[in-house]
Amino acid sequence: MIYPWLSEIEQQLSTSLRTGRFHHAQLFNGQQGVGKTAMVEQLADALLCQQPSNIKACGQCKSCQLNQAGTHPDKFNVQVEGQSIGVDEIRTVSDFMSHSAAQNGNKVVIIKDCHKMTTAAANALLKTLEEPSPQRFLLLTTTTATQLPATILSRCSRTDVQVSDTDSTQQWLASLQIIDYPWLSLFYQQPLLVQAWQQADQLTTIEQLYKFATSLKQGHNFSELVDIINKDSELIRVFCLFVSDQLKQQLVSGMQFDAYQQAQQALTEFYQNSTQVLGLNLPLAVSRLAYSLRNG
Ligand SMILES: [Zn+2]
């Protein structure tokens, strides 16, 4: 078992492999930090292993050794260059699929963030999906299946990866000594994101963002906040999530619905401007946001 919250999905995949109903194209859809990458890597290793048990690779055979070294000739990871996956990368995929396998016969292609495929790339992939060859497997991940063309979706077996039992992530995070943060429950669907923050020594920064979000209305000096979110657009998203959560709590405790909607609208505009407008005056944008929350 890779992560406790993925055990149900692992069982489903094991069953479909055992009963010969395993689809040649598997799409894993879910939020960042829920474990899609770990899932497809494990699946790829198992498909290439010479003696897998269910969807667990043995870790001993030649194939497993090649995978551990990251040099398995029958495994191909499509690289995202910049913001998109182009048609050339996908042509490499069909080329890779058409050659015979070096080890046990299976060949596996992993395409992470496949919603980043250009239209031309998606069309090229469609050909591979429409004419599946035996022992060839495509493992795709996406955070937004809705952005994928229906033609691609209809030719994949889709698994929605999510945490159904948040107790299990809470316990798992506790085992990493990540506990008692008032904002933690907002990320029970993204436990690996929280782990990544811990590994990057960022939990204190996240905690600071939370404090700024909860005191935004009273605040007047935002330079420290601006310093933090200026560095990383992902942190802007987290900050906005915190502010939005604050607003929801205020709504529950009696905030007028109109005011709530206006505040959420101001927040959405702030997020869009601060992540999309080049050369935006961020200190001014934060002051404006605080102003509209105060007067909402
Ligand atoms: Zn093996």
Spell out the domain ranges in the chain: 4-160, 201-294
pLDDT of 30 reads 97
In the reported structure, the alpha carbon of residue 42 is separated from the centroid of ligand 1 by a whole-number distance in angstroms of 11
- Looking at every residue in the chain, the average pLDDT score rounds to 93
pLDDT band per the 50, 70, 90 thresholds, residue 296: low
Could you report the per-residue pLDDT of 53-74, keeping only the tens digit for each?
889 999 999 999 999 999 999 9
Q: How confident is the model over 5-13, as a mean pLDDT?
A: 93
pLDDT of 81 reads 74
In the reported structure, the alpha carbon of residue 195 is separated from the centroid of ligand 1 by a whole-number distance in angstroms of 28
Indicate if the pLDDT at residue 295 is higher than 90: no
In the reported structure, the alpha carbon of residue 71 is separated from the centroid of ligand 1 by a whole-number distance in angstroms of 14
Q: How confident is the model over 49-56, as a mean pLDDT?
A: 91
In the reported structure, the alpha carbon of residue 67 is separated from the centroid of ligand 1 by a whole-number distance in angstroms of 9
In the reported structure, the alpha carbon of residue 149 is separated from the centroid of ligand 1 by a whole-number distance in angstroms of 35
Top-level class of domain 4-160: alpha beta
Q: How confident is the model over 8-28, as a mean pLDDT?
A: 93
Indicate if the pLDDT at residue 224 is higher than 80: yes
pLDDT of 160 reads 96
Q: How confident is the model over 101-111, as a mean pLDDT?
A: 91
Indicate if the pLDDT at residue 104 is higher than 80: no
In the reported structure, the alpha carbon of residue 65 is separated from the centroid of ligand 1 by a whole-number distance in angstroms of 8
In the reported structure, the alpha carbon of residue 101 is separated from the centroid of ligand 1 by a whole-number distance in angstroms of 16
Could you report the per-residue pLDDT of 121-138, keeping only the tens digit for each?
999 999 899 988 899 999
In the reported structure, the alpha carbon of residue 46 is separated from the centroid of ligand 1 by a whole-number distance in angstroms of 7
Indicate if the pLDDT at residue 152 is higher than 90: yes
Are the CB atoms for 12 and 159 separated by under 8 Å?
Answer: yes
In the reported structure, the alpha carbon of residue 72 is separated from the centroid of ligand 1 by a whole-number distance in angstroms of 12
In the reported structure, the alpha carbon of residue 163 is separated from the centroid of ligand 1 by a whole-number distance in angstroms of 29
Using a pLDDT cut of 90, give the percent of the chain over it: 82
Indicate if the pLDDT at residue 243 is higher than 90: yes
In the reported structure, the alpha carbon of residue 196 is separated from the centroid of ligand 1 by a whole-number distance in angstroms of 28
In the reported structure, the alpha carbon of residue 69 is separated from the centroid of ligand 1 by a whole-number distance in angstroms of 13
Query: Phi first, then psi: what are they for 260, rounded to 5°?
Result: -60, -50
Residue 240 tokens read as 């906005």
Are the CB atoms for 82 and 97 separated by under 8 Å?
Answer: no
In the reported structure, the alpha carbon of residue 290 is separated from the centroid of ligand 1 by a whole-number distance in angstroms of 56
Using a pLDDT cut of 70, give the percent of the chain over it: 99
Are the CB atoms for 138 and 130 separated by under 8 Å?
Answer: no
In the reported structure, the alpha carbon of residue 169 is separated from the centroid of ligand 1 by a whole-number distance in angstroms of 29
In the reported structure, the alpha carbon of residue 284 is separated from the centroid of ligand 1 by a whole-number distance in angstroms of 57
Could you report the per-residue pLDDT of 162-196, keeping only the tens digit for each?
998 899 999 999 999 999 899 999 999 999 999 99
Q: How confident is the model over 138-166, as a mean pLDDT?
A: 95
Could you report the per-residue pLDDT of 244-266, keeping only the tens digit for each?
999 999 999 999 999 999 999 99
Indicate if the pLDDT at residue 231 is higher than 90: no
In the reported structure, the alpha carbon of residue 106 is separated from the centroid of ligand 1 by a whole-number distance in angstroms of 13
Residues 6+ away with beta carbon under 8 Å from 84: 116, 117, 118, 121
